[in-house]
């Protein structure tokens, strides 16, 4: 296996990690965004892109919003915006602590940390 093959494997692994940490855990980004204040679903995508450096697929985002509302973690306001509920804030806090704990556990075994932007640049195929 030459160096190029190894780099391709790293790129694929980093891309899978980015997808798993962004699109597949989109709920935590939605809750974090709504913690700052109510907003409309179509604004969520723009805010998430600005704050977290990835753009979730529109249909996926709306599906997550629907599920979060169904689960009582967010609620719709009379004017059509969504806001986080107390239960949603608790879920966000627990999820954030879990992610931090896992990151600390992994980082103790790793030589250095990498930012989302660096990971995307390295993989050249990260979630847009």
Confidence band of 1 (pLDDT split at 50, 70, 90): very low
CA angle 64, 66, 68 (to 5 degrees): 65
Report, as an integer, the average pLDDT of 76-99.
97
> Over 50: is that where the pLDDT of 2 sits?
no
94 by Cβ neighbours in 10 Å (0-12 / 13-18 / 19+) ranks as: exposed
* Residue 91 token pair: 């879920």
Report, as an integer, the average pLDDT of 63-71.
98
Residue ranges per domain, the chain?
A: 6-122
On whether the CB atoms of residues 30 and 61 are closer than 8 A, the answer is: yes
Q: Return the bridge partners of 83, or none.
A: 75
pLDDT for the residue numbered 114: 66
In percent, the amount of the chain with pLDDT more than 70 equals: 83
Q: Which residues contact 25 (CB under 8 A, 6 or more apart)?
A: 95
CATH number of 6-122: 1.10.10.10
pLDDT for the residue numbered 90: 98
């Amino acid at each position: 296996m030459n160096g190029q093959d190894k780099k391709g494997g790293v790129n694929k692994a980093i891309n899978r990690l980015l997808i798993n940490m962004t699109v597949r855990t989109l709920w935590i980004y939605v809750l974090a965004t709504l913690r700052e204040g109510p907003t409309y679903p179509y604004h969520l995508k723009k805010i998430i892109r600005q704050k977290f450096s990835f753009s979730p697929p529109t249909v996926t985002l709306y599906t997550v919003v629907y599920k979060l509302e169904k689960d009582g973690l967010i609620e719709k306001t009379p004017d059509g915006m969504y806001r986080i509920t107390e239960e949603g804030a608790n879920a966000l806090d627990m999820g954030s602590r879990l992610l931090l704990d896992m990151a600390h556990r992994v980082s103790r075994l790793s030589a250095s940390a990498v930012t989302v932007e660096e990971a995307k640049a390295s993989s050249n195929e990260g979630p847009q």
